[in-house]
Amino acid sequence: MKAMYLDCFAGISGNMMLGAFLQAGVPIEYLQAELDKVPLPDAYELRVSQVSKNGISALYVEVCMEEHHHEENHGGHHHHHRAWADLRKMIDESSLSEAVKKQSTAIFENLAVAEGKIHNRPTDEVTFHEVGAVDSIVDIVGTAICLDYLSIEKVMVSRINTGSGFVNCAHGLIPIPAPATAELLRGFSTYHQGAEKELTTPTGAALVHTLATYEENMPKDFLVERIAYGAGSWDLIIPNVLRVYLGEISPGI
């Protein structure tokens, strides 16, 4: 069966996943055409650039939003807040394939459960701030689209570098890993090394939680056919990339 191994030595985020998928051969035109099936209320542009992280060539994916007048409301502190129930309806009403809808919904559902536990709110009433933004919708649905395109049946993940320090969010300063990230990575092997930055985001953690099983090393029967790199936003002492191995693995492994 077709499989992939996520080597998270510099963490994982949604745009790092998309960058790796595109370098692995998913056509950007196909990804954009499929994403256009989601009835997003906000206009955006998907920009892909080739970058070098400590000498490693990787693709960096950026979701660029159009400027909106609402950003000036309330002294510039007004942002889009979308409840999980609204996001689920948006995905359900799209013309995406049922397989992509199911996987996208599962990822967001796990994210909503984690956020709900942290903030003591029912899952359907969880309001996404950073995660509810269009770029995270693109990251999650885009990942499901790419997995379907590549016919990936099994996803494995290494130990995960979460980063360390603190990050500023809608609720103020919070520790890294963010509480939702820590919740989603229960049962996975994590560590922090190389940077006081958020290397693994809640979106990245939701992808791992939903899609992957932990493997300390790549299984012996995993035959690697391609290796791809998706870039993160940081320039660090370690290369801020997600390395993805794609290949074949014997059924039952």
Handedness of CA 17, 22, 23, 24 (dihedral sign): positive
Q: How does DSSP assign 149-208, residue by residue?
A: HHT--EEEE--EE-B-SEEEETTEEEESSPHHHHHHTTTS-EE--S-SSB-S-HHHHHHH
Residue 73 pLDDT greater than 50, yes or no: no
**Residue 171 pLDDT grade (very low, low, confident, very high; cuts 50, 70, 90):** confident
Domain positions in the chain are: 2-249
pTM for this entry: 0.92
Q: How does DSSP assign 159-170, residue by residue?
A: -EE-B-SEEEET
Mean pLDDT in residue range 148-165: 98
pLDDT at position 243, please? 98
**Residue 29 pLDDT grade (very low, low, confident, very high; cuts 50, 70, 90):** very high
Q: Which helix (H) or strand (E) holds 61?
A: strand 56-65
Is beta strand 241-249 parallel, antiparallel or unpaired with respect to 222-231?
Answer: antiparallel
- Give me the chain's average pLDDT, please: 90
14, 206 contact by CB (below 8 A): no
219 three-state secondary structure: coil
